[in-house]
């Protein structure tokens, strides 16, 4: 019987099985988790029968591991069709926190790749957002932010070089920018003004985020302010539309007066 579309290959499964040296229960959980993380959203997993044969265990043992994945929201069962990969949708809320802090609170490990940092003159738009004069030097930092190794956002931000002169040298590629600002420069971020629009990823952006060209993304423009009311950063970042949802709290207008 031909394999259904997007089902992980037998070769990929055999490779994962060969790489693990732990106990049987841990083995099954780790292999299935890795398979889900490396598969496309909506991919069909091998059947319980096939997995039981590969692992050399009873189907009930495999079923228990799949139950654990389902309880975490990593897969979904469709009666009569099988078990499908379900990548979690993360809520981008109004609560002001760094990407690293947000991922840790979700039980995920934050990281980064494709890190780029350079100092350049501020354009008029960047200068206006940072409340500095056009042409003043700014640090531009760009990187792909990851959660458990999965690309989640293309982060781009600008900061005044006069206020943070050695920022590129004291900040590691995986570091939280806000944590570095607090630890090295004594800056405490207080709030941010954000606007969210919908964008289509270019071919280059899509490749860096490991999604299809033209995939939708949230373009989040943020101006962060410290506890003294001074602008700290101006950024325009792209968050994957298939992994994020925007949460907003609304209320009726005040009737006082």
pTM, 2 dp: 0.67
Whole-angstrom CA distances from 88 to 40, 76, 147, 170, 186 are 12, 11, 12, 33, 35
Tell me how far apart the alpha carbons of residues 146 and 37 are, in angstroms, rounded to a whole number: 13
Pairwise pLDDT comparison (162 vs 104), residue with the higher score: 162
Structural domain boundaries of the chain?
Answer: 10-85, 90-246
Tell me how far apart the alpha carbons of residues 7 and 62 are, in angstroms, rounded to a whole number: 17
pLDDT tens for 129-167 read: 999 999 999 999 999 999 888 899 999 999 999 999 999
Per CATH, the number for 10-85 is 1.10.10.10
Per CATH, the number for 90-246 is 3.40.1410.10
């Amino acid at each position: 019987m031909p394999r259904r579309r997007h089902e992980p290959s037998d070769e990929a499964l055999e490779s994962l099985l060969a790489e693990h040296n732990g106990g049987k229960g841990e083995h099954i959980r780790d292999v299935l988790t890795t398979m889900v993380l490396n598969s496309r959203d909506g991919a069909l997993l091998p059947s319980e029968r096939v997995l039981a044969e590969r692992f050399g265990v009873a189907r009930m043992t495999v079923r228990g591991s799949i139950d654990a994945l389902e309880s975490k929201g990593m897969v979904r069962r469709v009666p009569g069709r099988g078990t499908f990969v379900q990548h979690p949708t993360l809520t981008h809320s109004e609560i002001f926190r760094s990407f690293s802090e947000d991922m840790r609170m979700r039980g995920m490990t934050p990281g980064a790749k494709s890190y780029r940092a350079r100092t350049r003159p501020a354009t008029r738009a960047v200068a206006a957002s940072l409340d500095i004069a056009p042409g003043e030097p700014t640090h531009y930092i760009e990187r792909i932010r990851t959660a458990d190794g999965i690309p989640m956002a293309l982060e781009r931000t600008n900061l005044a070089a006069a206020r943070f002169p050695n920022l590129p040298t004291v900040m590691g590629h995986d570091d939280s920018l806000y944590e570095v600002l607090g630890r090295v420069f004594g800056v405490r971020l207080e709030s941010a003004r954000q606007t969210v629009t919908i964008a289509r990823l270019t071919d280059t952006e899509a490749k860096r985020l490991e999604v299809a060209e033209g995939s939708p993304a949230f373009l989040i423009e943020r101006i962060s302010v410290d506890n003294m009311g001074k602008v700290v950063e101006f950024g325009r970042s792209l968050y994957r539309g298939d992994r994020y949802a925007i949460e907003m709290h609304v209320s009726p207008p005040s009737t006082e007066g």
